[in-house]
Amino acid sequence: MAVTNQLGIDPDKYKWGFHDPEKYVYKSRKGLDREIVEMISSMKNEPEWMRAYRLHSLEHFQQRPMPVWGANLAQIDFNDIYYYLKPTEKKERSWDEVPENIKNTFEKLGIPEAERKFLAGAGAQYESESVYHNLKEEWEKLGVIFLDTDSALREHPDIVREYFGTVVPPEDNKLAALNSAVWSGGSFVYVPAGVHVDIPLQAYFRINAQNMGQFERTLIICEPGSYVHYVEGCTAPIYTTDSLHSAVVEIIVKEGARCRYTTIQNWSTNTYNLVTKRAVAYRDATMEWIDGNLGSKITMKYPSVYMVEPGAKAEILSVAFAGRGQHQDPGGKVIHAAPHTQSVIVSKSIAKDGGRAGYRGLVKIYSGANGSKSAVRCDALILDDQSRSDTYPTMEIDEQDVSITHEATVSKVSDEQLFYLMSRGVKADEAMNMIVRGFVEPIVKELPLEYAVELNRLIALEMEGSVG
Amino acid sequence: MADLEIRDLTVQVEDKVILKGANLTLSKGEVHALMGPNGSGKSTLANVLMGNPFYQVVKGEVLYKGQDLLAMSPDERARRGLFIAFQYPVSIPGVTMSSFLRTAVSARRGYDKELMPVGEFQKLLKQKMDELKIEPAIVSRYVNEGFSGGEKKRAEILQMAMLEPEIAIMDETDSGLDIDSVKVVSDGVNRMLERAKGAMGILLITHYSRILHFIKPSYVHVMFDGRFVVSGGPDLAEELEQSGYEGIKAQFEVIAAEVQAEGAVRRAGKVFWVAH
Ligand SMILES: Nc1ncnc2c1ncn2[C@@H]1O[C@H](COP(=O)(O)OP(=O)(O)O)[C@@H](O)[C@H]1O
Ligand SMILES: [Mg+2]
């Protein structure tokens, strides 16, 4: 006689203690539980350690309360989200369903047709094959690995296992735990000792459904003396009906290596963009985060650098633009845990049409990190009376022998500046654009040229109609 | 009709009346010097003509080529050929001089969507910089950011040369320039006047008569306490140089007191006073 327990599970099915994840047939459904996580892992044919890691992360996610110290996240309904869709299941949206304003933006930015469809989720894949292919061969000759993280886990399981989760453990925060449980896609970069990758590695070349997922996981390892510049995203609006983007980026910069990580993202305005980005910098290593945040409903993102050996350096540059109904809460964290470490944080935020943009940052200097230096500068530009800027700089300094500077400015576009430009024949809206472009110029000039041009164009679009 | 007609212009800042009924006519081909002690309202007049929103016009009118200047936005005034070289130019961080100049010249020359072709622009810029003996490095710097006093003034004149105005107001461009620089700037302005062949007029605001030895005015006006109190030919500048503003001030005060009592328009010698 079959005995059915309260949960309706037929114990006979399990009497051999048989557990074969292969047999799951993944059914897409909303919500998050053990079954979903197990299914994700089995769909991907992952090693046991990753499955266990995901489940452990899930437990942590479920126990941990929502962070309440930052932007208002109360409206996120974790049960109303698909955590994994098989690539073949991803619903293709027809071009007609893409909102008019998104189409217009593509048009104005001059995004090529093929890319438009992809970016709007109305085309399955886009790869600029030829360019990417040539580059890939060059990288491979140098021993550089540049793969999506799922492939990396299959093809280089030992390296992935050695570093995965060592910089951002699931216990770090609720969203990191969520990503650790359900991650999919993202980039894996491994640069061997002494190798300088001259051309920026651009996730843009590789955008595909996997790579631009909601819960991508990126891992970059720079062996001693190496250099790499990784560029993520593009300035075209990423149109998605998914409301939550929660990525984790982990970077290990070993002795004397340098890593620059550039992000320009422009999420559609319904998206919660809650990302954990962290790097560890060893002796004389340099980590640079350059982070441009446009779009989204709420962005909370504080790229951080742990300087754990003498001579490590950190630089964090960020730009945020908040328009109507948007809350940009970017910032940065630098942890000086060794002597003679240096950090620079520059944050520029712009708020308009009732948007909120600001800076939230931490400078922590441990006792014993003597001779360390930190300079923080955050500037906010407010374009009208409805908008606001908040600055939350935290300093925890446990060492005497250090040099620290902090400068913060909040300014409005001055009438004097507008008048000056207009007195030369420049129309009011273009004058406003010029001032805003000038405000972000110190960061834009750090971007690869094509990104700088696109970002400027995008800011001009965001500014449209803000005057008069 | 003159190209620029200022009639009974009365202007205030917050609650303070600064211009108290200014009258002036100026046409292309003419150079008018405007002199007067500090605080008399010269810069206020210049800014109002360009449309600085900080100043409120409470009375009077200004016609520019027969049209209501005060109804136009500052950018429209500029595109129609009005220019001001500011006494205190502001800086625009992050915007390079060259991109600013290209945008401005394009606007003045009627390019609408796109900008003037870069080659043509560069050629024009180089020519003007050579003529004004301006360090080429200046154009890759941010607009007025960290400029010395002299650099700011020269940059203003560079803009004037690039924009080829029909009526240009130069507000104390000579102050803070050494004599060699005054000469270079003056040569530049004289060259513009020559090339314009009568199609450019200048309102040359200055505190000292020094620059008037280089740029010869056809008329000289003196402003005092928000009014034009004396107008004359080039010899007036010489006179002022001899007697200083004190002499004018004394005459002005006597007549002002009488007019207060009489409530009438009075004119005595070169000083006149209109009561309001
Ligand atoms: N921005 C301003 N704010 C307050 N007062 C002003 C401002 N500009 C001018 N004024 C006042 O207006 C008067 C005339 O100033 P201004 O036009 O600069 O004279 P000038 O150029 O002849 O020296 C002065 O009393 C000055 O204090
Ligand atoms: Mg003045």
pLDDT reported for residue A115: 58
Contact at CB, A427 and B94, closer than 8 angstroms: no
B81 touches chain A (CB under 8 A): no
Q: Which ipTM was obtained for this model?
A: 0.93
**pLDDT level of residue B274 (50, 70, 90 thresholds):** very low
Encode pLDDT of A20-57 as tens digits: 333 445 556 788 999 999 988 998 899 999 999 999 99
| Residue length of chain B | 276
B54 touches chain A (CB under 8 A): yes
Structure tokens at B53: 């929103």
**pLDDT level of residue B64 (50, 70, 90 thresholds):** very high
Q: Is residue B205 part of a domain?
A: yes
Q: Is A18 exposed, middle or buried (0-12, 13-18, 19+ CB in 10 A)?
A: exposed
Contact at CB, A420 and B86, closer than 8 angstroms: yes
Following DSSP, what letter does each residue of A109-161 receive, concatenated?
HT--HHHHHHHTT-SSB---HHHHHHHHHHHHHHT-EEEEHHHHHHH-HHHHH
Q: Is residue B276 part of a domain?
A: no
Distance B43 CA to ligand 2 centre (A): 4
How far apart (Å, rounded) are the C-alpha atoms in residues A181 and A63? 13
Question: How many Å separate Cα A112 from the centre of its chain?
Answer: 24
- Is the CB of residue A353 less than 8 Å from the CB of residue A387? yes
B89 to chain A, closest Cα gap in Å: 8
**A246, A300, A244, A239: which is closest to A266 by C-alpha?**
A239
- Is the CB of residue A318 less than 8 Å from the CB of residue A347? yes
Encode pLDDT of A283-322 as tens digits: 999 999 999 888 888 999 999 999 999 999 999 999 999 9
| Ligand 1 site residues, Cβ closer than 6 angstroms | B 13, 18, 36, 38-44, 54
How far apart (Å, rounded) are the C-alpha atoms in residues B172 and B205? 5
pLDDT reported for residue B262: 47
Encode pLDDT of B5-27 as tens digits: 999 999 999 889 999 999 999 99
- Half-sphere CA count of A191, side-chain side, radius 13 A: 31
B46 pLDDT more than 70: yes
Which residues in chain A touch residue B89, judged by CB atoms under 8 angstroms apart? Answer: 420
Q: Which atom of ligand 1 is nearest to the CA of B223?
A: 22
Encode pLDDT of A439-468 as tens digits: 999 888 888 777 787 778 778 877 774 433
Question: How many Å separate Cα A418 from the centre of its chain?
Answer: 34
Range A419-445 average pLDDT? 93
Encode pLDDT of A360-402 as tens digits: 999 999 999 999 999 999 999 999 889 999 899 999 999 999 9
Residue with tokens 């001059």: A110
- A399-414 b/e with 16+ CB inside 10 Å = b? eeebeeeeeeebeebe
| Residue length of chain A | 468
Q: Is residue B106 part of a domain?
A: yes
Q: Which residue has the higher pLDDT, B122 or B242?
A: B122
Which residues in chain B touch residue A421, judged by CB atoms under 8 angstroms apart? Answer: 92, 100, 104
Contact at CB, A437 and B95, closer than 8 angstroms: yes
- Is the CB of residue B106 less than 8 Å from the CB of residue A446? no
Averaged confidence pLDDT in chain A: 82
Encode pLDDT of A338-347 as tens digits: 999 999 999 9
Which residues in chain B touch residue A422, judged by CB atoms under 8 angstroms apart? Answer: 51, 73-75, 78
pLDDT reported for residue B272: 43
How far apart (Å, rounded) are the C-alpha atoms in residues B212 and B219? 11
Which residues in chain B touch residue A430, judged by CB atoms under 8 angstroms apart? Answer: 103
Apex CA A459: angle with CA A456 and CA A462, to 5°?
Answer: 155
Domain harbouring B101, CATH code: 3.40.50.300
B29 pLDDT more than 60: yes
Q: Is residue B148 part of a domain?
A: yes
Q: Which ligand lies nearest to the CA atom of residue B14 in the structure?
A: 1
User: Which residue range forms the structural domain that includes residue B180?
Assistant: 4-244
| Pocket-testing residue among B9, B10, B18, B38, ligand 1, by greatest number of atoms within 8 A of Cβ | B18
B227 to chain A, closest Cα gap in Å: 25
pLDDT reported for residue B210: 87
pLDDT reported for residue A107: 66
A203 pLDDT more than 80: no
B90 to chain A, closest Cα gap in Å: 6
| 3-state SS, one letter per residue, for A355-410 | CEEEEEEEEEECCCCCCEEEEEEEEEEECCCCCEEEEEEEEEECCCCEEEEEEEEE
How many domains would you assign to chain B?
1
Least confident of A106-120, A161-175, A229-243: A106-120
pLDDT reported for residue A265: 81
Structure tokens at A123: 């085309």
